[in-house]
Structure 1
Amino acid sequence: MSATAQALPAVTTPAIGQAFGGGFVTGVTVENGRRYLNITASADHELKGAWGARGVIIEGVGSFTDSRSNTESMAAAGSELAQKVLALEIDGFTDWAIPARDVQELQYRHLKPTTEGNYCWGRDGDNPNSLPIGQLYTAEFPGQTALPAFQDDGEEAFSGSWYWSSTQRSASLAFSMYFGDGLQDSHVKFSELRVRPVRRELIID
């Protein structure tokens, strides 16, 4: 067990995939010693667009866990995609965001739509900010989600294609993930990729 996990007492949270907080429970991340329950919006609210302008460093979009802060900084810099996500209101919740890199990893780990083997060449799956800490993918793990609604052709399923995170990689690139096989990579910011919005709630012991 990691030092982070040992330092945090156990707490009961809603099950993965459970309808909760305007969407579906995705998993837990840890930031500055605080645990957050991450929630993924339904497929009806999926968007597609460019991350932003190529060749421009945006301040405040480097977090691997704080999706909202990243997205607000993107929007302030002129990202139309980020602005559209921030304008969402779902079941009364208005704090939606483009998932940060390690929040996006949880979407794939727990809601993988396909039966394809996972891409596991680099650091795919490594997630030091999730609870439990995410380990490197193998070809077999994670497997296709057991939740029928999120399996291929299910009403909430992710497309087996590329999705943006809100985490910047460089002036030209932002982190992205391929939901067919779990490849974690980066794309040129003007690429048109999908986004499945998220929000989070602080877990109170």
Structure 2
Amino acid sequence: MQTNPITLPAFGATIPGQGGTFAAILRAPRVDGAEQPPYALIVSDAAAGEFRSQWGEYGKDVAGASSRTDGRGNTEPMADAGCPAALRVRELRIDGHADWFVPSLGELNSAAANVPELFSTEGWYWTSTQGSRYYAFVQDFEDGFSSWSGKDVEHRVRACRAIPLDLLTA
């Protein structure tokens, strides 16, 4: 069987109609044990989708927000628990899209590897990956380090979304 390969844009390319910049290709989380197709991570423009916020309440465990690979899956329980970063991302409407999320540790690590120039080197960015009831993971874009921070500390948040790979070439 012959397949027709698609030509993808370079990391860092603005994707028309998708609200931001192509940052990574990632494996989608399994659904009911089944493999899902990979997806493209789109990072919002800083002017439209970056802000400072606390992650959530220090000492409060957010069940369902510990995935290292599924930002969308983490953001929903964060928002349901009243976490300010997730609530603000959930309100975003950029380029007609309302499916923005706080990226997971793996998603933000991938952005740091592929498009660090899109992020400020001043301070840390929250991920949606909870480390414990007290801490969540953060990503640095000056040196590429990941660490954790108290959930009640204010850091940068950059909204992301996941799209099928074929939308990169539409």
Q: TM-score, with normalisation over the residues of structure 1?
A: 0.70
User: Is residue 43–residue 158 contact of structure 1 (8 Å, CA) maintained in 2?
Assistant: no
- Match of 1:51? 55
Q: Identity of counterpart residues, as a percentage? A: 34
Amino acid of the structure 1 residue aligned with 2:43: T
**Bigger shift: 71-80 or 10-19?**
10-19
User: Which structure 2 residues correspond to residues 71-86 of structure 1 after superposition, within 5 A?
Assistant: 71-86=75-90
- Match of 2:154? 192
Write the deviation string for residues 34-78 of structure 1: whole angstroms up to 9, x where unpaired: 201000000102111100011111111122222112111111101
Please give the alpha-carbon distance, in whole angstroms, between the structure 1 residues aligned to 2:136 and 2:93.
Answer: 25
Report SS of the residue matched to 2:74. helix
User: Is residue 121–residue 141 contact of structure 2 (8 Å, CA) maintained in 1?
Assistant: yes
The one of 160, 163, 166 equivalent to 1:201 is 163
User: Is residue 65–residue 129 contact of structure 2 (8 Å, CA) maintained in 1?
Assistant: yes
Please give the alpha-carbon distance, in whole angstroms, between the structure 2 residues aligned to 1:49 and 1:62.
Answer: 19
CA RMSD of aligned residues (A): 1.7
The structural deviation recorded for 1:10 is: 6.2
User: Which structure 2 residues correspond to residues 1-205 of structure 1 after superposition, within 5 A?
Assistant: 11-20=6-15, 21-31=18-28, 32=30, 33=35, 34-44=37-47, 45-113=49-117, 150=118, 157-203=119-165
| Runs of 4+ with deviation above 4 angstroms | none
The structural deviation recorded for 1:11 is: 4.8
Please give the alpha-carbon distance, in whole angstroms, between the structure 1 residues aligned to 2:6 and 2:81.
Answer: 38
Please give the alpha-carbon distance, in whole angstroms, between the structure 1 residues aligned to 2:77 and 2:6.
Answer: 32
Segments of 5+ residues of structure 2 without an aligned counterpart are none
Cα 1:11–1:63 shift into 2, 3 Å: farther
Please give the alpha-carbon distance, in whole angstroms, between the structure 1 residues aligned to 2:84 and 2:146.
Answer: 24
Please give the alpha-carbon distance, in whole angstroms, between the structure 1 residues aligned to 2:103 and 2:21.
Answer: 14
